[in-house]
Structure 1
């Protein structure tokens, strides 16, 4: 923003104008959240102004389906518009840095899908742009939507309250099977130039962010391994080289002394979208599986041994994070609700003039860990040292 510009936003009493860039899988999920958030939560008034994509006919069709007032193909022209105050970036990772930096410089609040960028250098540039923009009242956030699963928000509360005591060991496994078939065709997600990495950036970013989020901790050491099980897949030019990983493994040492193991795969036969988390402390333990996302397993090790055992908490009570806005207890929520919660938190932060969480700096922390996994894998079992960054301001429990 130039010195002559004021704090971003519409004229008093006017709604915020939202533009979204990208209309495929993530664009559809975000659009559903934008359409529904004001029906359940008290958020600032906004309008779904414009949906942006490269294919004019396809993006126009998507805009009509998803509730956007209009469509466009030139994102630069859209972010220059005075009636656009928020830019939601759902485009592929290789476009994140250019769009986000330009939108922040134009004084627009920015929400961007994870991972923050395709490279560490791009992520650093985005975090720097976010810091500069924040000084002018422009907010930014990265979309790690699993922070908004009520059961995981509750798990974070329990850990912060000391219910697990000293956390010693974390296991995080995010497993999918959509690339099991070696004849599955090439896509942009299998090309390093467009995707940055494979399972590492796509789903290990979620698993690593959960370790940091749940424990409120940071990583000091990383060792990792990457593997591509199917090195070539059918594409437009015949058999094309797959230049990203199918699976990744990492061991993380945290500032607290806890150790976390992370395993991710897109070739785990029979696993559709299974993010499993196990957190073990000296006073208790927590279990979670995304395929049963309304449930949390909790063991209290402070009671007599004869009474110990994991109990199932159905996270559907009004007292649980985000649940006050939804259905009567026992009426479960789904994966799509995490994006509604994400938009709610983003809009609330904009209204309050506070830094939303997770910040671009939080996304950069994850990006540094991903880069260290790649470096360790290339060096074959080398341990990479990281310097923990200063944490950004964050409310103790979103949605509480």
Structure 2
């Protein structure tokens, strides 16, 4: 197997994972970024991204002299066999993905790429972006390939090194074989197609997950109002091989750096193509309304309580295993609780007081102290190990709302706490309908 000289442009989440993993496979990697503070930290082996295994791979790559960090894009491009573009594509005001950074970098390296070099677009980009970059390069001796990433935050290193599929969009079968070979995963399913199809496949995959998550959250809301159990329903659904069990767990909504952005971008693409995409549009609208509904439900479950209830929040990141607050439903719900008049104190293992989360405290018991209700909004494992008897003593009230269904009802009941789990039929015999939030009945535990 041939070790390649590879430039990875962008040291963000995707770029750094790509660089570190390719270096661990034996390739010689130069990772390029224009953030000098980030580069200085990375050269010391300091990774600012919370991702299991990533720090170790970065340090290993540096020590083995397989991984280096630089801001000299031009010099790196002169020596690279392959250039990976792992650059941000943020959402514009119209919902479209902004590809101007990719276009700018392509213009910078155009005259400096060696003959026979391959430019691999790993960023999530609108259909036709690769074709546009071919025109901008004006180099018949340089190929542009679409190779979308399918990395899950919290599992990115594992997903890169053990992919469930590799998708390559290009015209030349030999180039496709070269790109697939970089991963050194001989048994993985590979799909070779054209650039535009590869670009669409990435959006189609992410946006389907968004629709699926909104669907199961709609089912969970319906389960609450009909006295049925959403986890049992999801289990039955998942036994159907046409459906499968993944992404059928109810929660406070979907978020993160990909699904919201990609959903807006695909909707913008559909609008430009004059294609109605009502199912995705409905999923996006439901997700925003669902987060507001969850905040209102937490307050409604308190009944006729204090004028300004104190709510303790456990979890702020969009999911466990990351430090990512981007489009986090947990953060959105915490903020909405404040807007609705609650006094909110939040704890997350990876978040301290920042402009994004100014109410964060350093200890889960601080979040619980004096709270009329405690809401679990992110599924961190450590929340299952809390001393619930101590929390019962610290809280002013006794209500715990588990939006992630990660807590043990028996454990909380033994501590004297009243658990409301989203979509669950826990304690149905003690529940009654006392109102509605956005047309959906709110079920309260009685006072016995």
Same-fold status (TM-score > 0.5) = no
Q: Which structure features the higher share of helix residues?
A: 2
TM-score normalised by the shorter chain: which range applies? 0.3 to 0.5
Q: Which structure features the higher share of strand residues?
A: 1
Q: Which has the higher contact order (CA 8 A, sep 6+)?
A: 1
* Rg larger in structure: 2
Q: TM-score, normalized by length of structure 1? A: 0.32
